Amino acid sequence: METNLKNEINFLIKPVAILTTTVILFVIVSLIGFKNLRAYVDKINENKATQKSLSQKVSTLETVSQILPGDITFLDIVLPNRGVVLYGLSQVKTQAIKFNLAISNLKTGGVSPESGGVLKASIGFEVTGNEKDIYNFLQSFNKLLPLMNVNRVNLTKVNDITNASITLNIYSAELPQKIPSVTGTVTELSQKDINLLGELTTYSLPQFVEPTVTNIPQKEDPFR
């Protein structure tokens, strides 16, 4: 009897072991599958959130393009990261020609830091001409790019000729050291921002005359 019991136990051990192993493997595979499924669902939710963020950003940028139709590269000149003095000199010469003024004693100063990462450069010069034209000349700098302002003016008048010694401040800014994340949020433009951008579109850009290639006469070949 005891021998038969042992035989029956030995006979059952193998199937039970196989069944137990199968159950354990099933549980392990199920856990791994559930974990992968959960990760896949999380990834889908993350992609949806990213897509929503990008859609909002596109919508905001489209709003800007509607407010400022056409070429908006002028924004690079509002506070340029380089060449600010050249831009300023261009504007001074352009406005002097516009108001029939003679320029003399042009000189540039150094660059000094202002608040908020803005830099300030200075240009000093003298203009001579009609007094009214000089006042109009000075007022014109309020609507020019790069952003600038008249810092100092000293007027002297002899008969009908007025001479003005002027110092301008011209402003620039360095490019950001860190580029914002593509998926980062973009704050919608406030009405104040919209008004400012709309006003900047009315400002005059500096003008540069591009050099043209002239016809260079060909030298005669001395060996012919």
Position 210 scores a pLDDT of 41
The pLDDT assigned to 190 comes to 73
pLDDT of 208: 63
Residue 93 is predicted with a pLDDT of: 92
Residue 210 lies in a domain: no
- Does a structural domain hold residue 44? yes
The verdict on residue 224 lying in a domain is: no
Any domain includes 207: no
Tell me, what's the pLDDT at 66?
Answer: 64
Q: Which residues does the chain have with pLDDT short of 50?
A: 209-224
Q: Quick: pLDDT tens for 100-148.
A: 999 999 998 888 888 878 899 999 999 999 999 999 999 999 999 999 9
Contact of 121 with 110, CB cutoff 8 Å: yes
Query: What is the model's pLDDT at position 87?
Result: 92
The pLDDT assigned to 33 comes to: 67
In a domain, 171, yes or no: yes
Same structural domain, 84 and 194: yes
CATH no. for residue 82?
A: 3.30.70.60
User: Would 180 be classed as within a structural domain?
Assistant: no
Position 223 scores a pLDDT of: 46
Instruction: Kindly state whether residue 34 falls inside one of the protein's structural domains.
Output: yes
Q: DSSP class of residue 71?
A: -
214 found inside a domain: no
Considering its fold, how many domains does the chain have in total? 2
Same structural domain for residues 115 and 167?
yes
Q: Are 34 and 54 in a shared domain?
A: yes
Predicted pLDDT of residue 8? 54
Residue 162: give the domain boundaries: 75-175+190-200
